[in-house]
């Protein structure tokens, strides 16, 4: 085991996959000479050269489309969006081109590309730079959506994403790049579509992903002091969702809270709740509650921003409600 930051774990995954497969290349704004806006691609230009670590103009739609086109003819591009906020300009390419190509062509042409970059709320970046879009992409058949919460998962999931023959939306936590964690040495691959129990518990299941995993684990610690034994389930892959893991956990604990950074309306949690009520209705002892970001654009002011974000206290409160502890 080595202790790595989330950022370096991603860097290692990119380096190893580029070493392994000459068809893998990295393209995006500031990935080369600048070494990456968040330094995820540090050192890669030197190692692999400008044909495989490609700096682009600020033209998200354009280079996302270039990535899709290159993938259509067999390369395995990793397209970096400096943040997912900017990827809004490329949504047509992600939705209309990447996601649908295999289906429209009746299986003749696939898009084995990874689109990655930081997402979620940050610190005082205001409305246009602090938002979570995973539910948008998870809505689209043809896309996979992956969101690691730990350095080990970041490395293992990125390697799987690069090897996957489908377009993968890989959303990193903007606030997670500096967190440290143990990462297995050598070949470490985490399969897509498998959730991970980050904490075992028996009283309530807290379902979360990305930055919300840390929030949920903190909440679980507080709850443990109050003799509530919470299970924390990290989805890791939003789509395809590991419904089996979700259902097994809820069937065990009978109570569930879903935590996410995004807005409440039609969020990831809405899909989780739908699955739970449909599949294990008779296991539920309380309605499933959701902890989400506030239903507003992100404000700049620090206090308002705090109020807009999900945090451990909100999770604890929701858990108390589903446990009928008032």
Partner 1 sequence: MASSAAPRSKTKSKGLDPARADEYRGWLRQMLLIRHFEEKAGEAYSLGKIGGFCHLYIGQEAVAVGSLAALGPDDYITCSYREHGHALARGISSQAVMAELFGKASGCTGGKGGSMHLFDASLGFLGGHGIVGGHIPLTTGMAFAAKYRGTSQVAVCYFGEAAVNNGAFHEALNMAALWKLPALYLCENNRYGMGTALERASALYDISERACSYDMANEVVDGQDVLTMNAAMERAVTRARNEKLPTLLEVRTYRFMGHSMSDPIHGHYRTREEVEGQRKRDPIAGWSQRLIADGLMDEDSVRSMDKNVLQEVEEAYQFADQAPDPAPEELYTHVYAGEEGER
Partner 2 sequence: MPTNVVMEALSPTMEEGRLVEWKKQEGDAVAVGDVLAEVETDKAVMELVARAAGTLLKHIVEAGATVPVSEPVAVIGSPGDDTGEGGKRGGGEAGAGQRGSGASGEKDRGAAGQRDSKESQGTQPSPGQSRPVSMPPAPPAGAATEHRPSPESPSGSKDNGVKSDSPAPARDQQAEPRVKASPLARRIAAERGVNLVGITGSGPEGRVVARDLEGVAAKAQSSTAPPPSRPAAQPYTDVPLSQIRKTIARRLAQSIGPVPTFYLTTEVDMERIWEARQAQLALSGAKGAVGKLESGEGGRDVSVSFNDITIKAVALALRQHPACNAWWQDDRIRYWNEVHVSMAVAIEEGLITPVIRHADQKTLREIAAESRDLAGRARERRLKPEEYTGGTFSVSNLGMLDIDEFTAIINPPEAAILAVGRIGQKAVGHEDAVVLRRRMRLTMSCDHRVIDGATGAQFLKTLKGMLENPLTLVW
> Which 142-201 positions form the footprint of partner 1 (CB under 8 A)?
142, 144, 164-166
Active site residues: 60, 129
> Which 282-301 positions form the footprint of partner 2 (CB under 8 A)?
282-286
Asked if residue 59 binds partner 1 (CB under 8 A), the reply is yes
Pairing of strands 180-183, 2-5: antiparallel
Asked if residue 96 binds partner 1 (CB under 8 A), the reply is yes
- Measured between alpha carbons, how far is 137 from 288 in angstroms, rounded to an integer? 23
CA nearest 138: which of 111, 105, 171, 90? Answer: 171
> Vertex 192, ends 132 and 104: CA angle to 5°?
80
- Taking residues 198 to 237 in sequence order and writing x for each that binds partner 2 by CB under 8 A, - otherwise, the string is ----------------------------------------
Asked if residue 88 binds partner 1 (CB under 8 A), the reply is no
DSSP letter (8 states) at residue 89: G
- Taking residues 237 to 276 in sequence order and writing x for each that binds partner 2 by CB under 8 A, - otherwise, the string is -----------------x----------------------
Asked if residue 51 binds partner 1 (CB under 8 A), the reply is yes
Neighbouring C-beta atoms of residue 15, cutoff 10 Å: 18
User: 100 to each of 14, 74, 109, 196, 206, how far by Cα in Å?
Assistant: 26, 16, 10, 29, 33
Classify residue 275 by burial, with Cβ atoms within 10 Å: 0-12, 13-18, 19+: middle
- Measured between alpha carbons, how far is 290 from 189 in angstroms, rounded to an integer? 31
Per rule CB under 8 A, count of chain residues that contact partner 1: 45
> Which 45-84 positions form the footprint of partner 2 (CB under 8 A)?
none
To partner 2, the closest distance from the beta carbon of 253 in angstroms equals 10
- Measured between alpha carbons, how far is 66 from 78 in angstroms, rounded to an integer? 11
To partner 1, the closest distance from the beta carbon of 245 in angstroms equals 16
To partner 1, the closest distance from the beta carbon of 202 in angstroms equals 30
Residues near partner 1 (CB under 8 A) are 25, 51-52, 54, 56-57, 59, 61-75, 77, 92-93, 96-97, 101-110, 112, 141-142, 144, 164-166, 240
């Amino acid at each position: 085991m080595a202790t790595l930051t989330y950022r370096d774990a991603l860097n290692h995954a990119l380096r190893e996959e580029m070493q392994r497969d000459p068809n893998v290349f990295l393209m995006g704004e500031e990935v080369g000479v600048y070494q990456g806006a968040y330094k995820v691609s540090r050192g890669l230009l030197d190692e692999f050269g400008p044909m495989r670590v490609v700096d682009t103009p600020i033209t998200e739609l354009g280079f996302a489309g270039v990535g899709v086109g290159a993938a259509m003819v067999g390369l395995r591009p990793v397209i970096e969006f400096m943040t997912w906020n900017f990827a809004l300009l490329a949504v047509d390419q992600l939705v209309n081109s990447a996601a649908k190509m295999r289906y429209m062509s009746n299986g003749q042409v696939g898009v084995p590309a990874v689109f990655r970059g930081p997402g979620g709320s940050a610190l005082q970046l205001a409305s246009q730079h602090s938002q979570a879009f995973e539910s948008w992409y998870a809505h689209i058949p043809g896309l996979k959506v992956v969101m690691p919460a730990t350095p080990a998962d970041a490395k293992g999931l990125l390697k799987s994403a690069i090897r996957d023959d489908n377009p993968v939306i890989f959303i990193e936590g903007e606030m997670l790049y500096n967190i440290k964690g143990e990462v297995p040495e050598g070949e470490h691959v985490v399969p897509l579509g498998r959730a991970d129990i980050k904490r075992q518990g028996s009283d309530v299941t807290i379902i979360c992903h990305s930055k919300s995993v840390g929030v949920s684990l903190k909440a679980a610690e507080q709850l443990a002091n109050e003799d509530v034994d919470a299970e924390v389930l990290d989805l890791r892959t939003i789509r395809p969702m590991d419904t089996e893991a979700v259902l097994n956990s809820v069937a065990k604990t009978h109570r569930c809270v879903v935590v996410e950074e995004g807005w409440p309306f039609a969020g990831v949690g809405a899909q989780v709740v739908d699955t739970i009520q449909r599949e294990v209705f008779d296991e539920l002892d309380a309605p499933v509650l959701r902890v989400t970001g506030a239903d507003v654009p992100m404000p700049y002011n620090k206090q308002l921003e705090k109020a807009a974000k999900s945090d451990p206290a909100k999770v604890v409160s929701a858990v108390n409600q589903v446990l009928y502890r008032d």
